[in-house]
Structure 1
């Protein structure tokens, strides 16, 4: 039986050879890095590009194509020209050696550093392989658990963690044949590409929703800039307190009357992150009906809102809003508009700000007189919410697939 330490659990058909193990210091050379600050970079133009450690930690994936607009230019080229012989090449790996958490040690593999020569920046360790690896393999491998877990015992610091070259040089690199490396890299690249595509589609839908929340609601003239065909009446000006009623009846959650708390809601998405009936503890809160709107008044900038599709109790600092004058769906849409968000965030308190109902209820807004127009608007926005949630769900599945592959295709 093959020793599991010499071969991964999951392999492509036809590969049975043991993986080769060596110390990082035996197959990589260390390069010099630059020490420019973020203020010396820009995203518009320049002769050189710069790999910032913060971008490795937060923006860059396993592989970074330096032609991408997300890689900044150097504003002060005279400070990097002296590093000419250390300009990054295809296949070089840049390690972020400083972070506030265990993300320290995250890497990105460089691809296409032309036509802009690229340097590795402050708080990074740039390394160059002395033998050929398949494109993308090192980026995926060194971010996978089997390699990154080696770094935990090498990290230094308390509030800010760091890695030294002398520590990194002792880590072990395991690699299969070039052909198997290439297949592994292609597989994970395919997953990454699909993730990127879905992230972009989700961002586009979010931008569209944000635009419609501004354009489909009336401005000071009483008319919305974007409108459905067949509607031309001026919208009616009202106070929020005239169209919204706050429920105050209290209730206690039961197995059939679930509770909703702040942490149960995905901020800004209006979805729940757990099954509400799965809780086993009874809690007291404000009773809500299907069609009511839960608005989190504590730290309103968190955008903790929910359109209720079931009966339950809202536990914590919620307003439970209902209306007898406007469509329930339109109520939910209205509380997401910039106008309502602005007044709701004129809150009292600094550490624990809360929306002020006195301010909100007396603020004015416009609503369509025709209920059909209200329904049409809320229908479009609900449709966008559904599409955004669908992409979010797809991304969760894709990231789980990638995590599984990183756990099982490497050693």
Structure 2
């Protein structure tokens, strides 16, 4: 076996890493606490999202034994081990309790707590455990003894601290931008509700709004269609084919499926032009997106082509509000799943101002959506960067 050396290192560190069993740096803590009906409970969130207070509507069972957890201890969820349910008990939850299904471990002084946590959150560790877990496929448990026999690689304590300092800085940046993204979404929701209720208007506009049916505002509106899925000649072509899962954000840029010209001709599908709005009638009812290129859609969408970008952007914002406030719920037909239909969409009415005010409103929400998209792209980039560093700085 060669020397354990990561791909990327901080300047000044050259010594090889050491492979150790987790039992050499972790000791299980078993401090009996209260019964389930009296314990102040905590839980471990999935995907390394930390240890948090557990809130339940009902008290636990008086027959269930809970165990006291201390701040700084490492915890994991036995049933969610394969979903990276790991975390460090924060100071504010010191003395809270969990059952034996969420064990806790004291961490030795010769290792960095956050380094141990990041080691556990690497797929090489938590996914490896799958073959060793006890129980059925849906209820695998990774017991403490099994966990402690696992191995991880450790550099010197100084190098561990350098690595965790980098990830702490990255996590702080990610958290700050997550807060900024949440504030932008809240601001958008506030403006949607205030502007479309006409409680808030731009300076200089005082004329009353007119109620218009949606069918009066677009030039062309029609649902899509789906080519026969059993005919392979209809799929795998160059025409993007929109599905519900492709709706994510203001603009629809890519689709998971494509169809052929033959599939388009031999179905109710049609080539919806770039810039049209597609509105989901099934599943995620009311969800909307703007096509960034010509696409075909399934019958789950009602597609609308508008006479101008001004009208399109204004209506998109209004439909966005309708989706956020679940306005479509009172119009859906119930059955196996709740659906809209084309006629109900055409008849749906909303208040609209003159084009000059429509333009300003549409531009405002376009700007907010672009700011939200930038934040989402930044967070996605930081997530990938962190993943790359986890791979390169660890071995």
TM-score range, shorter chain: 0.7 to 0.9
Pick from 70, 84, 94: which aligns with 1:88?
Answer: 70
Q: After superposition, where does 1:3-402 map in structure 2 within 5 Å? A: 3=2, 6-32=4-30, 50-53=41-44, 56-57=45-46, 61=49, 71-72=53-54, 86-90=68-72, 92-99=73-80, 102-103=82-83, 105-113=84-92, 116-121=94-99, 123-156=101-134, 157-218=136-197, 224-244=198-218, 246-248=220-222, 258-263=239-244, 265-267=246-248, 269-272=249-252, 274=254, 281-282=260-261, 283-284=263-264, 285-301=269-285, 303=287, 305-324=288-307, 327-338=311-322, 341-343=326-328, 346-368=331-353, 370-402=354-386
C-alpha deviation, 1:18, in angstroms = 2.0
C-alpha deviation, 1:318, in angstroms = 1.3
1:308-364: CA deviations, max 9, x gaps?
343333344211113459711112112112388413663224334321333333343
Question: Normalization by structure 1: what TM-score?
Answer: 0.79
Distance 1:343 1:292 in 2: 20
Q: Structure 1 residues 255, 358: closer, same or farther in 2, change over 3 A?
A: closer
Contact 2:17 2:153 in 1 (8 A): yes
* Equivalent position SS for 2:339: coil
C-alpha deviation, 1:112, in angstroms = 2.6
1:89-129: CA deviations, max 9, x gaps?
32x10011113x830x5311234347x53334563121112
Give the number of aligned pairs.
377
* Equivalent position SS for 1:207: helix
Question: Normalization by structure 2: what TM-score?
Answer: 0.82
Distance 2:224 2:25 in 1: 67
Distance 1:356 1:36 in 2: 53
C-alpha deviation, 1:409, in angstroms = 1.7
Distance 1:34 1:264 in 2: 46
* Equivalent position SS for 1:247: strand
1:264-297: CA deviations, max 9, x gaps?
6243x23336379x95844422222233211121
Distance 1:229 1:167 in 2: 67
C-alpha deviation, 1:263, in angstroms = 5.0
* Equivalent position SS for 2:160: helix
Contact 1:51 1:71 in 2 (8 A): yes
